[in-house]
């Protein structure tokens, strides 16, 4: 980094861990970026794309990254910024350089397959939502009159859980959520590979976000009608019993979702449901 008289740098270094395609080896690439006030990491990546050369002057392809809302709502831009899982759109360069003046390091999340550079496939998280039936089934769109009354306390419990953006920060930090990365066999069709991958995901830990979404829908007066099938899923392979209660998840959630409260509630609900199932036999 080159310092200016007013103590702001004239430029700063950005180290990006790059990977051409799924399963390929990764490599570090260094870029020198001209400083401007109020940059975020997305605008840094845009500058790098425009420069198209490394700090050694070698021409290079633009770094691939994902983004959508640019206001920390969609979760698409989640990556490791200086080792911390967070959204690139809300990671401000001035703050980052104040913490680490030697530059900024960008890596893809480690618990998901890398698609290219900083883009990962978070499909496993959506698969986990399918596993726990994180929705309310509807059997028609006709007017069926008002639904059940909602209590203020119920709404206040559910609202923060509804803010989950499936970003992946909680599972990236979770020691129980391990990487599942399969390689497509030469004689395997895309459909067969996807099926094998879905089976592997279905055996692995669903993670804190899916557990919390289970509670969101179980606590909804209409969703409560299907609570049993969600709890069955949480009691199955890769369910709640895998959680070691290390609480890393709650510490890193950018939406400050009370994940450990959800996990504790899920524990109470599955215990109650297991007893009920035993005596209903």
> Could you say which of ligand FES, ligand SF4, none residue 1 binds, taking C-beta under 5 to 8 angstroms by partner kind?
none
DSSP 113: -
Interacting stretch for ligand FES, rule CB under 6 A, among 2-10, 25-33, 69-77, 269-277?
69-77
Smallest gap, in angstroms, from Cβ of residue 166 to ligand SF4? 5
67 part of the interface to ligand FES, by CB under 6 A: yes
Smallest gap, in angstroms, from Cβ of residue 87 to ligand FES? 4
| Site map 163..182 versus ligand SF4, x via CB under 6 A | -xxxxxxx---x-x------
Q: Name the nearest CA neighbour of 181 among 118, 134, 115.
A: 115
Burial 152-173 (b: 16+ CB within 10 A, else e): eeeeebbebbeebbbbbbbbbb
Smallest gap, in angstroms, from Cβ of residue 43 to ligand FES? 12
> Could you say which of ligand SF4, ligand FES, none residue 74 binds, taking C-beta under 5 to 8 angstroms by partner kind?
ligand FES
> Could you say which of ligand FES, ligand SF4, none residue 73 binds, taking C-beta under 5 to 8 angstroms by partner kind?
ligand FES
Interacting stretch for ligand FES, rule CB under 6 A, among 29-37, 70-78, 184-192, 199-207?
70-78
69 part of the interface to ligand SF4, by CB under 6 A: no
81 part of the interface to ligand SF4, by CB under 6 A: no
Q: Name the nearest CA neighbour of 257 among 149, 170, 154, 153.
A: 170
Distance CA 11, CA 25 (A): 29
> Could you say which of ligand SF4, ligand FES, none residue 221 binds, taking C-beta under 5 to 8 angstroms by partner kind?
none
Residue corresponding to tokens 């900083």: 118
- Concatenating the DSSP letter of every residue in 187-217 gives T--HHHHHHHHHHHHHHS---HHHHHHHHHH
Q: What tokens does 2 get?
A: 């080159």
Smallest gap, in angstroms, from Cβ of residue 148 to ligand SF4? 26
Long-range contacts of 43-52 (CB under 8 A, 24+ apart): 43/93, 44/14, 44/93, 44/104, 45/88, 45/106, 45/118, 48/14, 48/16
Identity of the residue, 86 or 131, whose beta carbon is nearer to ligand FES in the bound complex: 86
Cα 118 to chain centroid, rounded: 13
Distance CA 88, CA 76 (A): 9
Interacting stretch for ligand SF4, rule CB under 6 A, among 2-10, 130-138, 186-194, 207-215?
207-215
Those residues with Cβ within 8 angstroms of residue 210's Cβ, 6 or more apart along the chain or in another chain: 125, 128, 129, 131, 132, 134
Interaction site with ligand FES (CB under 6 A): 67-70, 72-77, 87, 89
Interaction site with ligand SF4 (CB under 6 A): 75, 164-170, 174, 176, 208-209, 212, 243-249, 253, 255, 257, 259, 263
């Amino acid at each position: 980094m080159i310092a200016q008289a007013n103590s702001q740098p004239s430029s700063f270094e950005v180290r990006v861990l790059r990977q051409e395609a799924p399963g390929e080896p990764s490599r570090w690439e260094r870029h020198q970026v001209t400083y401007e006030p109020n940059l975020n990491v997305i605008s840094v990546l845009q500058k790098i794309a425009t420069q198209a050369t490394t700090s050694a002057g070698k021409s290079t392809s633009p770094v691939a990254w994902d983004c959508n809302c640019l206001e920390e709502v969609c979760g698409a831009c989640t990556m490791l910024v200086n080792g911390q899982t967070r959204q690139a759109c809300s990671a401000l360069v001035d703050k980052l350089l104040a913490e680490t003046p030697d530059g900024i390091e960008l890596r893809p999340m480690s618990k998901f397959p890398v698609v290219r550079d900083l883009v990962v496939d978070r499909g496993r998280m959506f698969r986990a939502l399918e596993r726990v039936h994180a929705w309310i089934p509807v059997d028609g769109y006709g007017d069926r009159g008002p639904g059940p009354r909602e209590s203020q306390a119920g709404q206040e419990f559910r609202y923060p859980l509804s803010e989950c953006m499936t970003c992946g920060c909680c599972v990236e930090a979770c020691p129980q959520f391990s990487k599942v990365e399969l390689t497509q066999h030469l004689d395997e069709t895309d459909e067969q590979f996807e099926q094998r991958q879905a089976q592997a995901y279905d055996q692995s830990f669903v993670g804190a976000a899916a557990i919390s979404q289970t509670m969101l829908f179980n606590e909804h007066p209409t969703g409560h009608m299907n609570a049993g099938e969600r709890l069955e899923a949480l009691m199955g392979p890769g369910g709640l019993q895998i959680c070691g209660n290390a609480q890393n998840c709650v510490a890193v959630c950018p939406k400050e979702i009370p994940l450990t409260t959800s996990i504790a509630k899920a524990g109470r609900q599955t215990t109650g449901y297991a007893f009920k199932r035993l005596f209903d036999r």
